[in-house]
Amino acid sequence: MNNFNMNLTIKPTWDIVKDVHDKTIRVMNDQGASADVKESAMMVATELIENAVKYGISQPDGSSIEFNLEISDNSIQMSTANGVKEEEHAKIVIDHITRINESDNPKELYTQRLLELLECDRPGATQLGLYRIAYEGQFNLRYAYEGKVLKINAEKVF
Amino acid sequence: MNHDISITEEMPGENTPAITDIIVEGEKIQISGDLIGSLASSFHYTNENTLVDDIAIHMEKHPEIFILGVTDDNGKCMGIVTKRDFFDKLGTRFGRDLYKKHKISSMMTNARDFKKNKNIFSVATKIENELSASSNLYYILKNDNGSFYGIFSSKDMLVFLSSITQKEMEMAEKIQFNIIKNSMLVEDEKFSAVGYSKMAQGIGGDYYNMFKYDSNRCLFVLCDVSGKGISAAIVTGIIGGMFDTLNIKDGMKKFLKKMNRYIYNTFKMDKYITSAILSLNGNEDKLKIIDLGHCMAEGNLYLVREGRFHKIKNQNFNIPIGLEPEIDVNSDVLKLKGGDRIILCSDGLHDQFNENGEGYDVEKLEAIVMANQKNDLLELKNIIVDDIKNFRNGQPAFDDMTFIIIDYKG
């Protein structure tokens, strides 16, 4: 694959989930990605952007959700940056990412999270997508929270 | 004087060599890639007093031996005998009869020697003039105590240097494409833009980038460093670093003046940069054009508006970066309309030639762009790249090629 960068600034509406999904497919096709890589990249892009739309608001400086996809010959990196409605929400996301990063068994963690959600009457913000990214996609997750903007970064090195 | 001569043939997985006679195969030691000993391609040697006839019989049985070191009783190498020279002499009329009772030392030639632990590049410098010789030359490698270790040839050295250059080029290419992406797609509410870059020699002197710095505001940069290859690529690295740390809100003109001073003082006009910088303000429907010797109203910047293809004839030109100690920076402003498509390219896009020596001129670009007005930017990028490749019809790329296409939604 060649080095490629895609940067989209988008309004947080549900339409854009499909738009980002479609663009990611096109870019992955364009870059000659294998079926496996393409599938996991699409899943990660969808999960990240859904998460940003569901829980995010436009960034405080007036811009919208920022989606970035970076492909090099040995890695894929995707990130979203969005303002968060409440400080508490950022904390929940950060806690989940910390939990994922501290575990050495993402499969077990994913199953555990599913069970937690089944047992919960009102699951609310499930954040299951983050667990899928780590377990199914085998991407590493990072976060940055600054100036009420939450950035989630998912990276896979081949 | 009679000598007991032994042959050792290295057995896989064993350190102790097997013993035969006449010719010895010395022990191959694992040597680091930076030391000249790693280039040894032969380890065979024989004593100076060995008879030519014995060597001939042995070499006939062992076709893999192509060269021999000749050592004295203390193991010090005195010269070499190549298989070719050896059998050429024996092949002359009465040659075998004449030489067979001679000692091998009578047939050896001198060769330069080097300690096996010398750095390869210091040896390469010492034999630099000999590397261009048409014939393959041989050099003796010795151990620290002066005994024979092995032999390497000028061909071995050239193969090594070529592989190093190849690896370095691949690494440089990888590094450059961390700075300059093969392709980019940037979108905001008011615009979409795609960029593409391909260096003619793997690495080169084109640089482009797109920086969104505010809502609906974006800076598009395309630079073309004079010259091609590694030297131009180094300058693109500098440009990339400078633009990446630029705070656009501090002012573009101030930044360009500072950049010009640095390039001028550093490269003393050996390197200069033509550049076009487009600053899009979607909130005011404006495109500011700063042309530093890149477009000059002649080409490289085009507009498709309402179904027509135009050359953008900007009026305010600036000299390229790095040619004068101080520069003024003037700009033009293009009022944008929704549906506008702007194309900015390096001159390398037009400097692509087919087998008849014809270039990919503006008319060809216009034809392909106008035939694909309905295509989105990712499609159009691929169509243009394919069109140029088809036009070249197998001819190699003559110049680095970069373009940016902006669709203004309005």
Q: Residue B178 CA to chain centroid, in angstroms?
A: 16
Listed by start position, the domains of chain B span 6-163, 180-408
Q: How far is A8 from chain B (nearest CA, A)?
A: 5
Looking at CATH, the fold of the domain delimited by B6-163 is given as CBS-domain (3.10.580)
Cβ pair B183:A2 closer than 8 A: yes
Instruction: Please answer yes or no on whether A7 and B185 come within 8 Å at the CB atom.
Output: yes
Amino acid at B233: A
Q: Does A29 touch chain B (CB under 8 A)?
A: no
pLDDT (tens, 9 = 90+) of chain B, 410 residues, equals 434 333 333 333 333 333 346 888 988 888 877 899 999 999 999 999 999 999 999 998 899 999 999 999 999 999 999 999 999 999 888 888 888 889 999 999 999 999 999 999 999 999 999 998 888 999 999 999 999 999 999 999 999 999 988 888 888 888 898 899 999 999 999 999 999 999 988 889 999 999 998 888 999 999 999 988 888 999 999 999 999 988 887 889 999 999 999 999 999 889 999 999 999 999 999 999 999 999 887 889 999 999 999 999 999 999 999 999 999 999 999 999 999 999 999 999 999 999 999 999 999 999 999 999 999 999 999 999 999 999 999 998 989 999 999 999 98
Judged by a CB distance cut-off of 8 A, whether residue A48 touches chain B is no
- Other Cβ atoms less than 10 A from the Cβ of B115: the count is 15
The dihedral built from the CA positions of residue A101, A158, B229 and B386, taken in this order, carries a sign that is negative
Whether residues A62 and B215 touch (CB distance < 8 A) is answered with yes
pLDDT for residue A2? 76
CA angle (A127 as vertex; A124, A133 as ends), nearest 5: 160
Q: Find how far residue B218's CA is from the centre of its chain.
A: 33
Q: Which residues of A touch B187 (CB under 8 A)?
A: 7-10
> A7 vs B212: CB contact, 8 Å cut-off?
yes
pLDDT per residue as tens, chain A (158 positions): 578 999 999 888 888 889 999 999 999 998 888 899 999 999 999 999 998 888 777 666 666 899 999 998 889 999 999 988 788 888 988 999 998 998 888 788 888 877 877 776 655 556 788 989 999 899 999 999 998 899 999 999 98
Topology classification of domain B180-408: Phosphatase 2c; domain 1 (3.60.40)
Read off the DSSP letter of residue B10: P
Looking at beta carbons, which residues of chain B come within 8 Å of A72? Answer: 177-178
Q: DSSP 3-state assignment of B287?
A: strand
Q: What's the rounded Cα separation, in Å, for the pair B263 and B324?
A: 10
Are A137 and A40 a contacting pair, CB within 8 Å? yes
B173 touches chain A (CB under 8 A): no
Give the residue on A whose Cα is nearest the Cα of B217: A63
Torsion angle of C-alpha atoms B115, B118, B120, B121, degrees rounded to 10: -130
Let me know: does B275 contact B259? Beta carbons within 8 Å: no
Partner-chain contact B178 A3, CB within 8 Å? yes
pLDDT of residue A62: 60
Q: Would the CB atoms of A72 and B177 count as touching at under 8 Å?
A: yes
Cβ atoms < 10 Å from Cβ of B391: 16
**Distance from C-alpha of B162 to C-alpha of B157, rounded to nearest angstrom:** 8
Beta strand ranges found along chain A (DSSP E): 4-10, 56-57, 65-72, 75-84, 140-146, 149-157
Per DSSP, helices labelled H in B91-153 are 95-99, 120-126
Neighbours of B71 (CB within 10 A): 23
Tell me if B374 sits within 8 A of B326, measured CB to CB. no
The token pair that represents A62 in the structure block = 């007036």
pLDDT at B224: 95
**Residue B16 confidence (pLDDT):** 35
Cβ pair B177:A27 closer than 8 A: no
Cβ contacts of B408 within 8 Å, gap of 6 or more: B190, B191, B280, B282, B285, B287, B336, B337, B338, B339, B340, B341, B342
Q: Tell me the pLDDT of chain B averaged across its residues.
A: 90
Distance CA B107, CA B80 (A): 9
Q: Using alpha carbons only, how large is chain A's radius of gyration in Å?
A: 15
pLDDT tens-place string over residues B259-306: 999 999 999 889 999 999 999 999 999 999 999 999 887 889 999 999
Note whether A73 contacts B: Cβ–Cβ < 8 A. yes
Q: For the segment B344-362, what is each residue's pLDDT rounded down to a tens digit?
A: 999 999 999 999 999 999 9
Question: Within a 13 Å sphere around the CA of B77, how many CA atoms are in the beta-carbon half?
Answer: 30
State the Cα–Cα distance between residues B132 and B154, nearest whole angstrom: 9
Q: Are the Cβ atoms of B181 and A26 closer than 8 angstroms?
A: no
To probe the interface with A, which of B171, B188, B406 has the most A CB atoms within 10 Å? B188
Domains delineated in chain A: 4-157 (3.30.565.10)
Residue B393's contacts (CB-CB under 8 Å, 6 or more residues apart) are B354, B355
Cβ contact A9–B185 (<8 Å): no
CA B3 to CA B6: how far, in whole Å?
9
Q: Please tell me if residue A59 touches chain B, with a CB cutoff of 8 Å.
A: no
Contact across the interface for A23 and B382, Cβ inside 8 Å: no
Name the residue with tokens 């100076």.
B48
> What distance in Å separates residue A136's CA from the closest CA in chain B?
27
CA B82 – CA B65 distance, rounded (Å):
9
Nearest to B409 by CA among B216, B221, B278: B216
